[in-house]
Structure 1
């Protein structure tokens, strides 16, 4: 009995040593997974959204060597009486309003500052759309009606086999993907853990095998569609998204700060939601888009791509919010009214007719409640229309 007990104790000691060694070897992965699992907790979410590089692998994107483009301060606007209540209710962390390229309001909340590089979430999709438009114009990609497998052969035999680039730009791929952020086992949360543990998103995407409808027949928001756009771009150019975005989009804008992408274990940018940028620099991008791709005398993105990508071309249901090529078009939108939107309350709202750009970042844990998105849009409309 004593001999058996000694053997058991020795085995436990060996197991403990192995476990400790594994913990040291995989310490960063374990720390990232722990951080991901508490990413949206009430007491940490605001801090986490300004410090995503503590939870994920990242790659820096240089702002470029050019001078900072000046955002002039205009006369301070008078905010509507209900703005303060909206800011508190929606856990807004920053609000910046541009009118004719001038700052008419800028404020920060919940301990955030102008230098914070806030996580974009799905606002990043609209950045990728702009980059895609540049590369299409350059001829790197022949047509948006090409099959995605032409540029991303890894997807041959996957759920994306048969989908066109237009389909994924429009979020009408027909691929089955559960995007419930509140379900631990949903596809979107499994994907998040894959990124945190250093997995590869290309393979994760290629492993998707189910569709619910033929490509192009029905709109359904499927974030992994945006990763496929990234795969197409990388396959067509042989370059990373970070390099292309820095050269084609970021450098001409004269940003104040460098930015960074969250990446997977192979250094592939998390294009569907992984950009981290300061509020004023989000505004510079929004201003370029609002000006039909023109910024300080340089045509950064083709004007015809801005028009096409921000039109409600996806097969959405009548009376519901519209969708273009990775841009949203609100219900009842006036001409030139559209927006980039990310979960938990990230927005770049654009009203071209009024020459207004509004950036709002937030840590709104109730963003999925019914009517919240429309409440936010109505606040942006109110701000735009009183200027």
Structure 2
């Protein structure tokens, strides 16, 4: 799970136990305080369905293995997979007791939803990308985030150390979860007990904008900025700007820390069908039917990862036969493949994959353990191949 010293391994508590992982991905509202993201007053927007014939599709992995969809589900500990093509649900399955109306943990895929809100507010002129975080949140002055600009935060451009510790991404992620969720705290825990306290321990170890470093604090700092400029909670903001316009079946929800603050970087849960509705809104340029919800310019800019912040590397899960690479923009992962695909991505296999050229939206929910003995499932190759198949057969 990590190259950190053995003394830090207790921070992986629970993440190597499949039953424990599924309990948290599927029942977060039962285990932690939460706040709903209201679906709005209107009826649910129907999702047309049609059999696409992808049940028998086989996936070729980067190491030339062949997987059936059931093989992929087993490797990814899949709880749900929903595939839409041109606005029609062409494949939908639920496993391990999950049902279509059940909300599932989105994990870090939720970062992308915060990015969408921030980009929209910046487009409207409510938020200044070049302003420093401390201009909006004075309490962040002196932290690694306070001198960073909004744009630095949106591109994971801070160089941070918490509490004077050497930075270790997996360990810091687990320490963040312990801040939000008391059951994840190891025996004798004496660290921060709120997101606000956690951010206050962050110190810069290099100038912002010099290195891509994926870190939850960037999202939490930005979420607090959005709360300050809009005067509302993260849950209400997401409902007002997006969720109440989707025609969602269900309310979504955020888990809360001890002070009642949403865990914006990963504490969001929703049904697969409603996240697919969000993906379809984005695929359609920010519109639901004839109603423009997100400015089309905001959606068009998602795959446009700017030089200077993008981490452009060969994406390990991409098929060797494709030119796909990975970069990052406004909390979205950009595949740089021929179909202009991008995705929201979270731990344990949470994905919202959007491919404009293949007109495909895919939602995957999983409960995969985080362990060196559990290889990462080849989800992205599967999504790219499903999209290519649909593009050429429907």
* TM-score bucket (shorter structure): 0.7 to 0.9
Superposed, which structure 2 residues align to 1:175-254 within 5 Å?
175-176=160-161, 178=167, 180-181=169-170, 186-197=171-182, 199-211=193-205, 213-254=206-247
CA contact (8 A) 1:99 1:355 kept: yes
CA distance in 2, matches of 1:239, 1:39: 33
CA distance in 2, matches of 1:87, 1:45: 16
Unaligned runs of 5+ residues in structure 2 are 1-11, 59-67, 183-191, 316-325
Offset at 1:316? 1.1
TM-score (norm. length: structure 1): 0.84
Which of 109, 124, 138 aligns to 2:110? It is 124
Superposed, which structure 2 residues align to 1:1-387 within 5 Å?
38=14, 41-79=17-55, 80-81=57-58, 82-141=68-127, 143-176=128-161, 178=167, 180-181=169-170, 186-197=171-182, 199-211=193-205, 213-313=206-306, 314-319=309-314, 321-330=326-335, 332-366=336-370, 372=376, 375-387=378-390
| 1:368–1:137 CA distance, 2 compared to 1 (3 A) | farther
CA distance in 2, matches of 1:133, 1:96: 27
CA contact (8 A) 1:218 1:315 kept: no
SS at match of 1:372: coil
CA contact (8 A) 1:63 1:255 kept: yes
| 1:367–1:252 CA distance, 2 compared to 1 (3 A) | farther
CA contact (8 A) 1:129 1:309 kept: no
Unaligned runs of 5+ residues in structure 1 are 1-35
1 or 2, which has the higher helix percentage?
1
CA distance in 2, matches of 1:386, 1:179: 39
1:69-115 Cα shifts (integer Å, max 9, x gaps): 11101233323132211111111111100000000000011221112
TM-score (norm. length: structure 2): 0.82
CA contact (8 A) 1:312 1:328 kept: no
Greater relative contact order: 1 or 2 (C-alpha under 8 angstroms, separation 6 or more)? 2
| 1:368–1:382 CA distance, 2 compared to 1 (3 A) | farther
| 1:104–1:344 CA distance, 2 compared to 1 (3 A) | same
SS at match of 1:347: strand
CA distance in 1, matches of 2:372, 2:239: 32
- Superposition RMSD in Å: 2.1
Give 1 or 2 for the bigger CA radius of gyration.
Answer: 1
CA distance in 2, matches of 1:84, 1:163: 45
